[in-house]
Amino acid sequence: MIIQRSKAGTIGRLILTVLFGLLLMIVPATAKPAGIRISIWTINQPGMDAVGNWVQKKIGQFEKANPGIFIDHSFWENQSYKIKLKVAMFSGKGPDILYNWGGESQLVYSREGLLYDLTGDLGKHRWGLSPGMFATHSYRGRIYGIPIFPTVDVVWYNKELFVKHGWKTPQTWPEFLALCDRIKAAGYIPVAMGGQEAWTILHPYMDIVDRIAGSGLYPAAKARQVSFTHPDFVAAFRILQGLAQRDYLPAEVLSLNYTEATQLMMQDKAVMMFMGDWQYSRLTNQMHRDFDKWDFFPFPVFPGGKGLPRNIIGAVDGFSVKNSKHAKAAVKFLKFLASRDSLIESYQKSGFLVALATPYLDKNARPQLKRIAALLAQATSLTQWWDQDLPEAVTQVLLQSAQDLIAGRCSPEEAAAMIEAAYRKN
């Protein structure tokens, strides 16, 4: 009997082994459905960011309508994203769809043939998107990016505090400085800034250069027609440094990140901030409250300066497609994402303006958003964000020089010289 039980046990174990082996063959097939799997990388985290929520929702809708195509969404903070993306793209492991800001942030890949040419897919009407917004997403007459979110730099302020104290929005730089003195005397921080993230320091610097020298100096320096040590670049650094020296910025400016600086405004501790139009969504908690508490004014002009009041600094953020075997599937999703209904939904959820060619703002749109749209439509020039337009090595020095200047570790002349030296090495 013992021998019979042993044989039975042996046969049983053999059957279990065979069944287990078959199970191993079956499980992987059910864990990863057959089909095309494409990846999209952004700077928008679902749950924390209205645009991230929109992207994730569209992924779900697209997958349901297109069985067999699956989309993986990954996201990182701005600077981390740029570094990870560059490493991945040049190692052949980049995403199928990549978020970028146009300009050099896209050209670095299109020049090397790493991006899919979207010109033919867009057709004559370019999916209903504004034709003028494709300029910074093009290379040698071909289109390598889809413009989605036009952005512009302005000065945001706490309208309730302005009304309470009788402050007026300034039109000139001397008026702005006088306003800062009054705000400081009332016990508030005039300008919120998260200098731990150096790009926040860059915002006013870019505008100051434009207002002093006009829109032509920066592109001339980038084209190496003039040096970044030009007197107007130095003068702009000196003016920027003056904001810190006059105590118009938070005392701990270089220890604060962008989110913490925004909190200073929301807590009524700081009154103004140099920032892009997306700040309205941040200040209203992703368009949920305090809609009338916040407003903006264009960056002030400088008496005797060459910059026009309607010159703007900004970009048109969007998406590009990697040149790969899944490019057509990626384009299919991108066209779905950039459809009119989808973009209007994005605007309604996030408050971010979109690049549609025909009007989409209804009569109930927030006045702030209508004015942002008018500012973009009436702009006399658009200068790309420098940190998205310059070569990466130069950008890193530019950001470091801005922090060093605010910290008092270098002079305006030294900051400008650092950037010029980096460009010559590039």
- 275-284 tens-digit pLDDT: 999 999 999 9
Q: Which residues pair with 356 in a beta bridge?
A: 129
Q: Taking a C-beta distance cutoff of 8 angstroms, is the pair 115, 346 a contact?
A: no
C-beta atoms surrounding 412 within 10 Å: 19
| pLDDT score for 10 | 44
Q: Which residue matches tokens 């605010």?
A: 406
Determine how β-strand 97-100 pairs with β-strand 270-276: unpaired
Q: Among the listed ranges 12-26, 57-71, 78-92, 309-323, which one has the minimum average pLDDT value? A: 12-26
Q: State yes or no: pLDDT of 327 exceeds 50.
A: yes
Cα(46)–Cα(50) distance, integer angstroms: 7
Of 43, 400, 420, nearest to 202 (Cα)? 400
| Model confidence band, residue 2 (pLDDT cutoffs 50, 70, 90) | very low
Per DSSP, the three-state class of 159 is helix
**In b/e form, how buried is each residue of 152-164, taking b as 16+ CB within 10 angstroms?**
bbbbbbbbebbee
Per-residue model confidence as pLDDT tens digits over 163-216: 999 999 999 999 999 999 999 999 999 999 999 999 999 999 999 999 999 999
Q: State yes or no: pLDDT of 29 exceeds 90.
A: no
For the record, the structure tokens of 64 come out as 């349901």
Domain ranges of the chain: 36-148+317-378, 151-313+384-425
CATH code 3.40.50.300 for 151-313+384-425 = no
| pLDDT score for 330 | 98
Q: State yes or no: pLDDT of 294 exceeds 80.
A: yes
| Model confidence band, residue 416 (pLDDT cutoffs 50, 70, 90) | very high
C-beta atoms surrounding 16 within 10 Å: 10
The identity of residue 106, as a single letter, is: Q
| pLDDT score for 347 | 93
| pLDDT score for 285 | 80
Mean pLDDT on 337-364: 93
Averaged confidence pLDDT in the chain: 91
Q: State yes or no: pLDDT of 12 exceeds 90.
A: no
| Model confidence band, residue 248 (pLDDT cutoffs 50, 70, 90) | very high
| Model confidence band, residue 33 (pLDDT cutoffs 50, 70, 90) | low
The model's pTM is 0.83
| pLDDT score for 377 | 85
- Residue 394 neighbours by CB under 8 Å, 6+ apart: 419, 422, 423, 426
| Model confidence band, residue 426 (pLDDT cutoffs 50, 70, 90) | confident
Record: fold of 36-148+317-378: D-Maltodextrin-Binding Protein; domain 2 (3.40.190)
C-beta atoms surrounding 407 within 10 Å: 12
Share of the chain above pLDDT 90, in %: 82
Cα distances (angstroms) measured from residue 216 to each of 349, 371, 390: 36, 25, 15
Return the HEC string of 359-390.
CCCCCCCCHHHHHHHHHHHCCCEEEECHHHHC
Phi-psi category of residue 302: left, alpha or beta, with phi > 0 → left and psi -120 to 50 → alpha: beta
Q: Taking a C-beta distance cutoff of 8 angstroms, is the pair 195, 257 a contact?
A: no
Phi, psi (degrees; rounded to nearest 5) at 17: -60, -45
Determine how β-strand 381-384 pairs with β-strand 311-321: parallel
Q: Taking a C-beta distance cutoff of 8 angstroms, is the pair 145, 319 a contact?
A: yes
| pLDDT score for 11 | 47
For the record, the structure tokens of 297 come out as 């004014």
Mean pLDDT on 67-71: 96
Cα(146)–Cα(152) distance, integer angstroms: 18
Q: Which residue matches tokens 């945001």?
A: 156
Whether 36-148+317-378 and 151-313+384-425 share one fold: the answer is: yes
| pLDDT score for 19 | 47
